[in-house]
Amino acid sequence: MTIKWRIEMGNGINHGMGFLALVVTLVSSPALLLAAQTADEAAMPTDPYLWLEDVEGDRALSWAREQNQRSEGELQAHPNFDEFQARHLEILTSDERIAYPGLRGGEVYNFWRDAEHVRGIWRKTNLDAYRKDDPDWDVLLDVDALAERENENWVWAGAGCRYPDYDRCIVSLSIGGADAAVRREFDMETRRFVEGGFELPESKSQLGWRDLNTVFLGPAFSEDQMTDSGYPRTVQIWERGTPRSSATTIFEGEKTDVAVTGVRLWDGDVFYDLIFRSPSFFTRQVYLYRDGQTHRLQIPEDAEVVGLLKGQLLVELKSDWVQAGQTFPQGALIAASMDEFLSEGVEPDVVFAPAERSSISQVVTTDQAVIVNVLDNVVARLIRFVYADGQWQAQALDAPSMGALRIVTSDDQTDRYFFNYTGFLTPSSLYEADAMTNRHTQVRAEPSWFDSDGMSVSQYEATSADGERIPYFVVKPKGFDDNVTYPTLLSAYGGFEISRTPFYSGILGSSWLARGGVYVLANIRGGGEFGPKWHQAALKDNRQRAFDDLIAVSEDLVARGITQPSKLGIQGGSNGGLLVGAVMVQRPDLYNAVVCQVPLLDMKRFHKLLAGASWMAEYGNPDDPDDWAYISQYSPYQNVSADAEYPKAFFTTSTRDDRVHPAHARKMVAKMTAQGHDVLYYENIEGGHGGAANLKQSAYLNALIYAYLHDRLADGGALDD
């Protein structure tokens, strides 16, 4: 069975079960933040911009609004801004978009936003109706109506429903798009919130079903309940009809942990209660809670539990594991029974082991099968595994080739699943498939939002500073001429084992490709394109490799004559914002535009701000002199200089981002401005880590970005040498 604590996300796609995809999030406490600031101001008197860490302080917000006014005025004056915004809103709110399904109990669930439903509606229908062009949807919850009725800026944050009956759900509602959310029990029959039911005030606490009358609770309301990262430190069992304060604690982690959480895992009619303790972002200890006792499973701490089928627990390895004289390879999918994993001498089966330039990007289960989505040199394929007679049997599944595949949802009670196929020039298509018959049928397809005739996609490799080959995709506009250099937008991420694969974007296509621009997606180290080793190659003291990789791709683009520095821009968000910020500081001569979104930039203090402590496994601990020795070499905020000439960068963030603190972008802009650099800044006063709380805000933000890119790279005859 696919892990059952996945939530239905805003786009309707059920994401996989990575530990931090669980609904455990951090409460943003102004009191705690200000207390931390006071201590740090004494310790770091040389930083004159600590006051910008006061998220909603009058002085900080006044500064942000002043920056917004200046930057918005400049970017809105671009002759294409209004056209961009209108087109983006048309694309984002179109009824022709795919209503992505989430399968639950034989029914199809979907969350939908459009021009009429700006905040969105949560709805469901049956399979027969869904297969039709215009299904009859049963609206479960209208978030716009709820926000108006309660006079609150609600943003949908997902729902976790009780398996296998799906009669009750825990609905999460964010205020303004923050990660912190209010959680309320919802009755699927009455379509109402349950009076006196399970409910939590705004926080990043965890709440998950055990049965109709008990839930796992991970409280995160006060400092003593939270880890240093701000996530729940305990797992409790909370019974219906009792006060939250009476919940029984069954497990307690350490203050230095990232988080602990409890989940009920189902395998047909059999269930297991598991507790996940995560000492760091990339390590976890798994405990079986049985008969009031916890029993630790013998699984490597850096491995990840990804599913359960036919009594076999599925585990993905992140490093080589030696057991009973046998080496189970890094990146492999292994399996054994729950009881076997409780024993010291467990000898699991190898379900699948990737090759040198391949990796597992996704594992889901149906009633009888495990489906593995494999990336081969960043091109996807699907493989089915069936457990029979004590062995795993493999078969390739039919699916469109040479593009990006993503399993959207699967049904644990049948072998039905839906997958999405897309490419840079291929609009997304949704397929319904059966894992056992190996048949698939297209049920949805998005329209073409731009004319791709004459455009092409190529894949190249650049050689990084240490000799590693770095693949990257180049999307070329119609009439591409090898003798002309083009305005080029380069994007990458390079962190947390997150893979970047081809995708279709009507906004990118209509605002950039169709107007003669080149788009480049680089698969740099730090990501997961080639498995755990590709990620680990850029961890901590090797972080510079990710920056070197992006620089190498940039130089390769220039060497191939595709672009030149005056026409080259880079874009990244979150960890990708750190990436482009660091590369801008190190090689300002290579770029004429930098879009740095919801970024990490002050790497001296990232671990003291919001959820930052949880990322020390990725970056290191700045308070450790050995770690700071290498972090200090690339931290953008510490290395930006008044003596350098930087491109006119555009920084964006959100006041309500309670994952990556808005002070990173605020302080960088304040410091660069004081140094005499010309920069642009936009802070959405709501919006969360995604930067926008609704489709209108997303259309507006993207219009600002493309107005900036055209102004810096493509206007004034930039296509001419």
pLDDT at site 287: 98
pLDDT at site 28: 32
What span, in angstroms and rounded, lies between the C-alpha atoms of 436 and 413? 13
Pairing assessment for the beta strands 234-239 and 248-252 based on DSSP bridges = antiparallel
574 included as an active-site residue: yes
Task: Say which of 78, 607, 689, 710 is annotated catalytic.
Answer: 689
CA neighbor of 209 nearest in space, from 273, 264, 251, 249:
264
pLDDT at site 35: 32
CA neighbor of 470 nearest in space, from 542, 520, 523:
523
689 included as an active-site residue: yes
Whole-model pTM: value is 0.88
CA-to-CA dists, residue 295 to 3, 206, 299, 459, angstroms: 20, 22, 12, 48
CA neighbor of 477 nearest in space, from 512, 448, 525, 505:
512
Hey, what amino acid is at 479? G
Per-residue pLDDT reduced to its tens digit, 166-192: 999 999 999 988 889 999 999 999 999
pLDDT at site 177: 83
pLDDT at site 686: 62
Helix, strand and coil percent figures for the chain, each rounded to 5: 25, 35, 40
pLDDT at site 492: 98
pLDDT at site 508: 98
Please check whether the domain covering 44-89+449-714 is classified as CATH 3.40.50.1820.
yes
Residues of the chain with pLDDT under 50: 2-45, 716-721
Of all residues in the chain, what percent carry a pLDDT higher than 70? 92
Task: Say which of 229, 574, 654, 698 is annotated catalytic.
Answer: 574
What span, in angstroms and rounded, lies between the C-alpha atoms of 687 and 431? 32
pLDDT at site 23: 28
pLDDT at site 692: 59
The answer to whether the Cα torsion of 546, 552, 553, 558 is positive or negative is: positive
